[in-house]
Amino acid sequence: MQSTWPTLSLLIWIPIAGGLLAAALGERKASHARLLALAVSLLTFVLSISLLTGFDRSTANMQFLENKAWIEYFRINYFLGVDGFSVPLIFLTTFFGVLVVIAGWEVIRTRVHQYMASFLVMEGLMVGVFSALDGFLFYVFFEAMLIPMFLVIGMWGGPRRVYATVKFFLYTFLGSVFMLVGLIYLYTQSGTWSIPEWQGLPLGITAQTWLFLGFLAAFSVKVPMWPVHTWLPDAHVEAPTGGSVILAAIMLKIGGYGFIRFSLPITPDASNSLDWLIIMLSLIAVVYIGFVALVQQDMKKLIAYSSISHMGFVTLGLFIAFAIFRHGVGSNAAALGVEGAMVQMISHGFVSGALFLCVGVLYDRLHSRMILDYGGVADSMPWFATFAVLFFMANAGLPGTSGFVGEFMVILAAFNANFWYAFLAGLTLILGAAYSLWLVKRVIFGAVKSREVAALKDINRREALILGSVAVAVIMVGLWPQPLVDLMHASVNNLLAHIQQSKIPAATIATAGM
């Protein structure tokens, strides 16, 4: 299906063009840059709704296709399309695209035009990542998207921003180099950069294993998975609020999306034989990082560690499918796990984004992220406290919020793979509540800590609008996740059918058999 109206291109290039325009406005026209950024992000958001409404849920085929030759010599195409995995993530991206513009409205005072430009360009590039179906194009978006993020941290960040940026850069760059090698190998084998075609490419187990490890290097850093997670807390701490929000809400999802788009369908046999590795790392993330989050003194670090722990559910949900198939208990639980992983990604986007916005609200007032500097905030900021408690409860996986849905699905599915997977993953019920609510106890409740805290002003209308709109999303997904999971059924079933078929060429199997 060739789309007549290039929706995806518009979703990518409108924010990028808007960003460049904002940058060109210059330092003096800060208010123009703000209005322009708001208009562009709103337009993109509205356009992404047409993606939701026009999306055909009944098929796993790629939709809104655009395919044009780009660098013909290398058969690189400008190839875009979306399925049930990418549509929700694109929607999440455009949703937060609007929120970060509003969140930076009065707070950012220096180089406003460049700030707004960075976020708009980043938005377009991230939509590009989620919609690219050409391996090379994907890689370009994947790398390019980081640059505005480096800028955001490097220019509007905290005192240790240089260290954080370098660490972030080294981690992600090292990881993606291995992926690049893998992509080039796939091109040499198939003569094409088309990801859908790669998914049908027969590959021996050795090649698959190397490819799998290459993808793992890139995506595990993004998720991030233990033990390549240590860049995240530093990056979050130094990033301005908007940067943290995008980092947590969208960028981490690119890791999970990468597993779905590349590792699982292109190297299913390697995924099958190495699933224990991912599951082990996921469970370590859930439990180990849960304990680490408990002892954090810096609110942003705590939320960053909590993110790592929650993202463990994403990788767990994706990779338990193999164990479930090996047990022969049917594919129901496997689908539950993969859909749980997807729901967890969306929900974590909302919840972690909201939590960083909450910390931003406090930071803007007291210029501290330290838990010890607060206490009794509920007294002077009752509305803020209401939102914060809601989001921390969602972070602790309270039913009725989106935070519950994904974890619930993954834990239910994990029991079908192995009792102990469910057991260890289930510990998040205790750990997640412990670190979330202990923070709430120390920051929101208790005796009023200081005169500064007593003088805090409650959230204004702009902040209420931002937190309120995320709250609506969190509760809607919590009370009725059906529309969200309904988007991905066809794609999930297609993926599961795909990973059950060996990609090892028949000859290789015969050799292995001898």
Partner 1 sequence: MALETTLLLIPLLPLAAAVIAGLMRKQVGRAGAHWVTILGVAVSFCLSAWVLYQQVFEGLGTQNISVYTWMVSGGIRFEVGFLIDHLTTLIMCVVTFVSLMVHVYTIGYMAHDPGYQRFFSYIALFTFSMLMLVMSNNFMQLFFGWEAVGLVSYLLIGFWFQRESAVFAGLKAFLVNRVGDFGFLLGIAGVLFATGSLDYSEVFSQAPEIATRTISIIPGMEWKLITLICVCLFIGAMGKSAQAPLHVWLPDSMEGPTPISALIHAATMVTAGIFMVARMSPLFEFSDAALSFVLLVGAFTALAMGLIGIVQNDIKRVIAYSTLSQLGYMTVALGVSAYSAAIFHLMTHAFFKALLFLGAGSVIIALHHQQDMRFMGGLRRKMPITWATAWIGALALVGFPFLSGFYSKDAVIEAVAESQRYGSDLAYWAVLLGVLVTSFYSFRLLYLTFHGEPRYRVDHSAGEHPPDGVLHQEAHESPWVVTVPLILLAIPSVIIGYLTIQPILFGGWLNDSISVQAQNDVIADLAHNFHGASAMAIHALGTEPFWLMMTGFALATFIYLFRPSVAETLERGMPGLYRFVLNKYYIDELYQAVFVRRAVQIGKVLWEKADAGLIDGVLVNGSARLVGAVAGRIRLWQTGYLFQYAFAMIIGLIGILAIWVVY
Residue 402 neighbours by CB under 8 Å, 6+ apart: 343, 346, 347, 350, 351, 394, 473, 474, 475, 476, 477, 478, 481
- Does the protein bind partner 1 through residue 486 (CB under 8 A)? yes
Give the angle 180-186-189 at the CA atoms, nearest 5°: 145
- Does the protein bind partner 1 through residue 450 (CB under 8 A)? no
Beta carbon of residue 1, minimum distance to partner 1 (angstroms, whole number): 26
Nearer to partner 1, 36 or 293 (CB): 293
Nearer to partner 1, 3 or 386 (CB): 386
Beta carbon of residue 280, minimum distance to partner 1 (angstroms, whole number): 15
Nearer to partner 1, 317 or 349 (CB): 317
Burial (CB count within 10 angstroms: exposed 0-12, middle 13-18, buried 19+), residue 109: exposed
Question: Which DSSP state fits 76?
Answer: E
Beta carbon of residue 165, minimum distance to partner 1 (angstroms, whole number): 7
- Rule CB under 8 A: which of 212-241 touch partner 1? 227, 230-231
- Does the protein bind partner 1 through residue 180 (CB under 8 A)? yes
> Are the C-beta atoms of residues 48 and 150 closer than 8 Å to each other?
no
- Does the protein bind partner 1 through residue 158 (CB under 8 A)? no
Residue among 148, 147, 149, 127 at smallest CA distance from 138: 127
The overall longest dimension of the chain from CA atoms, in Å, is 78
What are the distances in angstroms from CA 307 to CA 206, 288, 344?
33, 13, 11
> Are the C-beta atoms of residues 199 and 498 closer than 8 Å to each other?
yes
**Which residue in 223, 341, 485, 487 binds partner 1 (CB under 8 A)?**
485
- Rule CB under 8 A: which of 47-106 touch partner 1? 71, 74
Please say whether the dihedral angle defined by the alpha carbons of residues 78, 145, 193 and 503, taken in this order, is positive or negative: negative
**Which residue in 187, 259, 262, 356 binds partner 1 (CB under 8 A)?**
187
Beta carbon of residue 149, minimum distance to partner 1 (angstroms, whole number): 10
H or E element that contains 67: strand 63-71
**Which residue in 50, 189, 331, 368 binds partner 1 (CB under 8 A)?**
331
What are the distances in angstroms from CA 491 to CA 110, 185, 319?
44, 26, 16
> Which range touches partner 1 (CB under 8 A), out of 31-39, 236-244, 291-299, 365-373?
291-299
- Does the protein bind partner 1 through residue 242 (CB under 8 A)? no
- Does the protein bind partner 1 through residue 281 (CB under 8 A)? no
- Does the protein bind partner 1 through residue 444 (CB under 8 A)? yes
**Which residue in 47, 280, 427, 475 binds partner 1 (CB under 8 A)?**
427
- The site string for partner 1 over 391-410 (x = CB under 8 A, - otherwise) reads --x----xxx---xx--xx-
Nearer to partner 1, 196 or 468 (CB): 468
- Does the protein bind partner 1 through residue 269 (CB under 8 A)? no
- Rule CB under 8 A: which of 342-361 touch partner 1? none
> Which range touches partner 1 (CB under 8 A), out of 82-90, 249-257, 413-421, 504-512?
413-421
**Which residue in 24, 52, 162, 509 binds partner 1 (CB under 8 A)?**
162
Nearer to partner 1, 1 or 69 (CB): 69
Residue 116 structure tokens: 């707004």
- Does the protein bind partner 1 through residue 171 (CB under 8 A)? yes
Beta carbon of residue 68, minimum distance to partner 1 (angstroms, whole number): 17
> Are the C-beta atoms of residues 45 and 55 closer than 8 Å to each other?
no
Beta carbon of residue 332, minimum distance to partner 1 (angstroms, whole number): 4
- Does the protein bind partner 1 through residue 298 (CB under 8 A)? no
- Does the protein bind partner 1 through residue 497 (CB under 8 A)? no
DSSP 435-466: HHHHHHHHHTSSS---HHHHTPPPP-HHHHHH
- Does the protein bind partner 1 through residue 119 (CB under 8 A)? no
- Does the protein bind partner 1 through residue 511 (CB under 8 A)? no
- Does the protein bind partner 1 through residue 419 (CB under 8 A)? yes
Give 218's Cβ-side CA count (13 Å radius): 24
What are the distances in angstroms from CA 205 to CA 190, 324, 503?
16, 21, 8
- Does the protein bind partner 1 through residue 320 (CB under 8 A)? no
**Size of site (CB under 8 A) for partner 1:** 90
- Does the protein bind partner 1 through residue 134 (CB under 8 A)? no
**CA–CA gap between residue 114 and residue 107 (Å, rounded):** 14
Residue 20 structure tokens: 């460049």
Nearer to partner 1, 205 or 358 (CB): 358
Residue among 53, 35, 41 at smallest CA distance from 15: 41
Nearer to partner 1, 98 or 246 (CB): 246
Radius of gyration of the chain (CA): 22
